[in-house]
Structure 1
Amino acid sequence: MLSCEKKKKTAEGSTYKPQQVDKYFKLANQFYDNSKYDSAFYYATKIKLIINPEKDLEKYTTTMFILITSQQLQGDYSGAESSIVETLSNVEKEKSERYKYKFYTMLGYNYTCQSNYNEALFYYKKALSFKVPKKRKLISIINIGNIYKQKKQFKKAIKILEPLLSDKNAKQNKYYYAGILNDLGFCYFKTGNPKAIIYLNQSLKMNYNMDSTADDDYDLTTNYYSLYHYYLKKDKTKAINFAKLLYKKGTQYNNPDDRLLALNFLIKNSTGEELKKYSLNYINLNDSITKVRQKAKNYFAKLKYDSKKEKEENLKLKAEKELQQELEKNKNIIIAFTIILILIIFSFIYYYLIEKNKKEKLQTAYQTEIRIAKKLHDELANEIYQTINFAETQDLSSPNVSEKLLENLDSIYTTTRNISRENNFIETGSLYTENLKEMISSFNSKTVNILINGLEEIDWKSISELKKITMYRVIQELMVNMKKHSQSSLVLISFKKQENSLILNYYDNGIGINFEKQIKKNGLQNIENRIVSINGSITFEENQNKGVKTSIIIPI
């Protein structure tokens, strides 16, 4: 391209629900299409303030294209650079790289307009690194070739541009192909290749034929520029003619840069009145451009300031609203936390009372057992006394009386012994181990051999009174059940401490247990209830006809 004037493109819109955004978007496109770039910039800035790039990326990027191009067309390249960088920051996280490609290309173009060719070259090459279709990458390759041409590195430019002549994508796009022919022809001219004029004329013909049926024939300016330089030393008349055509086309499209360039060519090749006329036109046009562009920069700066101020006010209102919402949210959190805390406290109290009541009931049961044992003992003792008295007053020589007396005494003694054993007071102090061992050993007989392991190794002082009583009663229940039902000849009871638990393992080699029929009959249910009451666990191994194996775990 000859100058930094871009071909105008109609911004393609996309559907967006907020009515205000749609309204501004429509106005920005209308003003842009009518070359009213200050107004297009104004409404594009309005959109930028309220649009959400994440929700409508297509409309956002189109808006930024209008805004940036409006700045470039008015010579505000510094502002355009800031806008491009801002846009790139919003599209950086996008998976699709076509937006990055588009705005890195615009950044390269922005530096080209400022004749900063090294930076332009860097960003054009950066754009090529993105994953976009080859058709899209073509413009970057053409731009890179053009940069080398501007840097007067014509051989490098030729090396890049020549392969494009056979590129199918380039051939399909006649505008691109005409541009390639022109740049390549100019480079051939500078390197002394005779094919230069062929390519330059071919490009001119293509642009002329394409634009003969269209209003937009701006690309002809690049042909006029190249042909002016080609004929400058070969045919000055032709060269001046192309300079005049360049001025005419620049005037037609209101491109001051092309007009200044053409006037510069004409001044160098004129004398007398023509020189004076062209010089005055150049001075007036240059002054006018400076004023217009400065005015545009000031206008854009004011718009950006107003927009920034409006944005800051909106952010302040938003921050105040968010603060209020955060305070309300925190208030709700505190209320919810308070309610949860109250529920936890009430749950803890309820659990504590339940457990306390459970323990009190258990303790009461133990006290009741002691009371019953004492009462039965005293009552049976009186009965024994009466029986003895009976024996003293009766004729014991009579076989019937003697036999009756012995039966009564045996029955009374057996009942008393059993009741006392099952319900008497349990020593939980220093004699606990000895009493427990004695109770277990009392079930020894000629037919039953009982082995005890690990009893003395347990630190019974560290275990609560309630748990020791429970352990005593549980073992007692197991031994009674063994005596009544198991028909065993060997019983093994072992004690073991493991971390914070006391483990009791019981085994006998009797006939086993039919759990479905006997669990309630032989006191096993009582054992389970006692263990559960102190948060313990009990496991019966169902191995019918092969004895009983039980494991009890009590937390200590």
Structure 2
Amino acid sequence: MRFFLFKILILSYSIWGFTQEIDNSYLIDSIQKNILNSKIIDSSLIANSHYRIGELYRYDFQADSAYYHYHKAEKYYKNLNNKIKLARTLYGIAVIQKNEKDMTGSELTSIEAISLLESLKETNEVKKYKSFIYNNLGLVFGQLEQYEESISYYKKSLDLKERLKGNNEVTIIKSKNNLALSYKNAGIYDLALEYYSQIINKKDLINNYPDIYALVLDNFAHTLYLSGKHKDLPNLYFDALKVTDSVNPNGYNSIIINQHLAEYFNNIKNEDSAKYYAYKAKNISEEYHNDDLLKSLLLLSKIEKGEKAAEHLKAYVKLSDSLQKAERAIRNKFARIRFETKQIEQENIKISKERTWLLIISVVAILASFLLYLVITQRNKNKELQFIQKQQETNEEIYNLMLSQNESIEEARTLEKKRISEELHDGVLGRLFGTRLSLDSLNMSNSDEAIKTRSQYIEGLKTIEEDIRKVSHELNTDFVSGSGFIDIIKTLVETQSLAYNLNYALEHDDDINWDSVTNKKKIHIYRIIQETLHNIYKHASASKVNISFKSKNNVICLTIEDDGSGFDVNKAKSGIGLKNMNSRIKEINGTLSINSEKDIGTKVTIEAPIP
């Protein structure tokens, strides 16, 4: 909301301009407060605000405040590299310097502004500000009484103004008036009168711009007076005074006209009228306390006689000294502002360098940290890869061991089955076959009972023969290979239990089809049992361990339970063993849960899908 009001204030300023309807102090206070209170991050907007405050102060004749804000705007525009607005701001500074009698400073500032504009494309705006700056240079050299240079700059200004787009009648008239003024002060009265006549004869000038008409008419009358042409005097002075009083009675513009009237009447020895207009000029100029008051006092010192003349002369000297001191103070203040700004700029440069070095050091530190992070990360990845490789080698070793052990078991079983088969075939089966033949030979007896009995024996022997043949055939066929994994687990448990001085119980569900379980999953289950038994020995101080395999919904459920000391699962640190178990469980898409109670024992439950 504050920022919105700020923009409204600026807009109102730009629309209304500097008229009496605007409360300048209200605008200045409002803009300043919004600059301080609003979080404005647009440097261009801040620069424009300082420039406009400077303009308001300049037209309110507060030179030091105007200079301060102009100077602020100058710094922002320099940082933004906005040459046109920077030149415009420098023009405002040059005008203040000229008004405060710092002619050298005003000249240098004006030349700097002109140089900036010369580097830009000659747009209408560029030409406008160049004409203003040339006009200011004309005023500077006019006050320095260097009228040749003054006339030259006025002509440049007038030439540019006549080439501007739009209605520039007023500003052209002012330049012609200034040019005529320099001709008048240089004693070239004919050219001065020529320019004054051009202005006065403009149609409707008195109606449209009465204040300008009165100013030009007064200058025209004073030029006639200086050139010795008194025919139309003092009527022209009276006409000018009448017009200016109709606009602003006893206003600032009437001071010079009253001075000229006093000068004229003093010249023709009309002392009363001379005193009247001289005192009138003095009384009005006292409100402004500037050079016009100084001129009025000097004029009265010439018109009055005796002690009064001396009093006015003393007042003149005193005011002159006071104005000079004030002008020096203002110029010194301007110098201090620039000096302090230079100091601030140097400090800002120093801070900028420090920030640059800090940025460089920070970037280097960040890059070094990033490289160090990459090195450490890569090293950890290498370690992880080495661990995985080592784990793979261990798994392969276990797998080969399991295969070797399984082959030994299967070989022993095969030999045993072959031996039993041969024994059945060559021993029992042979004897039974001989008995059957003997019985068959005894079948020669014709008694019904003998025949019936022999037939029953023979049939029984046939049945035994077929059963033994069937058993022999089945024994000679390979066992289901899956049963070998349980034997491997049993060997592991027996070995570990013996080494760890543990009693064990191993239960397994015969429904588990270990042939459908991948070798990778078998290896991980083997390793998990091995790691769990090691942890029981190392931490639990247990005396017994129960291990069971069950099948539920095509999921292998492995339970390992001990009667050890137990531990707090929530507070226990995750060591390398538990991390490895979790890693293996993750590999086989299983789940791991650990339940433990102090002084009761620990139960590890692992579930893994069979496929």
Q: How does 1:154-553 map to 2 (within 5 A)?
A: 154-168=189-203, 170-171=205-206, 172-189=208-225, 190-212=227-249, 217-234=251-268, 235-255=270-290, 257-314=291-348
CA contact (8 A) 1:28 1:43 kept: yes
Q: Choose which of 169, 181, 205 in structure 2 pairs with 1:146.
A: 181
Distance 1:109 1:88 in 2: 16
Residue of 95, 106, 120 corresponding to 2:136: 106
CA–CA distance in 1 between the matches of 2:131 and 2:104?
Answer: 20
Compute the displacement of 1:323 (Å).
Answer: 10
Q: Which residue of 1 aligns with 2:457?
A: none
Q: CA RMSD in A?
A: 3.6
Contact 2:87 / 2:116 at 8 angstroms: preserved in 1? no
Per-residue CA distance 1:176-199 (angstroms, 9 max, x = gap)? 211221111112223324123232
Whether the aligned pair in 1 keeps the contact of 2:91 and 2:109 (CA below 8 Å) is no
Q: Secondary structure at the match of 2:267?
A: coil
Q: Distance in 2 between matches of 1:70 and 1:193?
A: 37
Distance (whole Å) between structure 2 residues aligned to residue 151 and residue 233 of structure 1? 21
- 8 Å contact from structure 1 (residues 72, 80) kept in 2: yes
Amino acid at match of 2:264: Y
Contact 1:16 1:56 in 2 (8 A): no
Task: Compare the two structures and name the one with the higher helix fraction.
Answer: 2
Q: Distance in 1 between matches of 2:81 and 2:337?
A: 25
Q: Using the alignment, how far apart are the partners of 2:353 and 2:172 within structure 1? A: 43
- How far the C-alpha of 1:48 sits from its partner, in A, is 0.5
Contact 2:53–2:66 (8 Å) recurs in 1:
yes
Shift of 1:60: 3.9
The 2-side partners of 1:185 and 1:252 are apart by: 26
Unaligned segments of structure 2, at least 5 residues: 1-17, 32-39, 363-611
Name 1:47's counterpart in structure 2.
73
Count of residues in Structure 1 that have an aligned counterpart in Structure 2: 319
**Secondary structure at 2:234 match in 1:** helix
Contact 2:97 2:106 in 1 (8 A): yes
Task: Summarize deviations over 1:325-379 as a string: whole Å, max 9, x none.
Answer: 9999xxxxxxxxxxxxxxxxxxxxxxxxxxxxxxxxxxxxxxxxxxxxxxxxxxx
Cα deviation for residue 63 of structure 1 reads 3.2
- Quick check: 2:141–2:150 contact (8 Å CA) kept in 1? yes
Structure 1 stretch displaced more, 17-26 or 274-283: 17-26
Distance 1:22 1:162, change over 3 A: closer
Q: Distance in 1 between matches of 2:91 and 2:199?
A: 27
The one of 58, 65, 70 aligned to 2:96? 70
- The 8 Å contact of residues 255 and 284 in structure 2, kept in 1 or not, is answered as yes
C-alpha distance after superposition, 1:9-58 (max 9, x if no partner): 99999999425435534543454354321122122112111115987667
Matched to 2:298, the amino acid is N
Greater mean alpha carbon deviation, residues 12-21 or residues 129-138: 12-21
What TM-score comes out, normalization by structure 2 length?
A: 0.47
Distance in structure 2 (CA, Å) of the matches to 1:184 and 1:128:
19
Alpha carbons of structure 1 residues 101 and 230: separation in structure 2 relative to 1, 3 Å: same
**For residues 306 and 155 of structure 2, what CA distance do their matches in structure 1 show?**
48
- Aligned in 2, Cα 1:142/1:319: closer, same or farther, shift over 3 Å? farther
CA contact (8 A) 1:49 1:311 kept: no
Counterparts in 2 of 1:312 and 1:129: CA distance versus 1, 3 Å? farther
* Post-superposition offset of 1:266: 1.2
Q: CA deviation at 1:153?
A: 2.0
Distance 1:111-1:126 versus aligned 2 partners, 3 A rule: same
8 A contact 2:58–2:66 mirrored in 1: yes
Q: Secondary structure at the match of 1:196?
A: coil
> Is the counterpart of residue 125 in structure 1 residue 155 in structure 2?
yes
Following the alignment from structure 1 to structure 2, what is the Cα–Cα distance between the partners of residues 307 and 81? 21
Aligned partner of 2:190: which letter? K
Segments of 5+ residues of structure 1 without an aligned counterpart are 1-6, 329-556
Q: Which amino acid aligns with 2:245?
A: Y
> For 1:211-233, what per-residue CA distance to the aligned partner results, in whole angstroms no more than 9, with x for missing partners?
13xxx921112211221222112
- How far off is 1:317 after superposition? 6.0
Q: Which residue of 1 aligns with 2:47?
A: 21
Counterpart Cα distance in 2 of 1:101 and 1:224: 31
| Per-residue Cα deviation, 1:56-98 (whole angstroms, up to 9, x for no partner) | 6675455334322322222222111121112112222142211
* Percent of residue pairs identical: 20
Q: 1:277: how far off?
A: 1.8
Aligned 8 A contact 1:105 1:123 in 2: yes
Partners of 2:274 and 2:303 within 8 A in 1:
no
Cα distance between partner residues in 2 of 1:47 and 1:16: 15
Structure 1 contact 207–219 (Cα < 8 Å) conserved: yes
**One-letter amino acid matched to 1:211:** N
| Structure 1 contact 138–170 (Cα < 8 Å) conserved | no
CA–CA separation in structure 2 for the residues paired with 1:29 and 1:142? 24
Q: In the aligned structure 1, how far is the partner of 2:112 from the partner of 2:360?
A: 29
Q: Distance in 1 between matches of 2:140 and 2:300?
A: 28
| 3-state secondary structure, aligned to 2:122 | coil
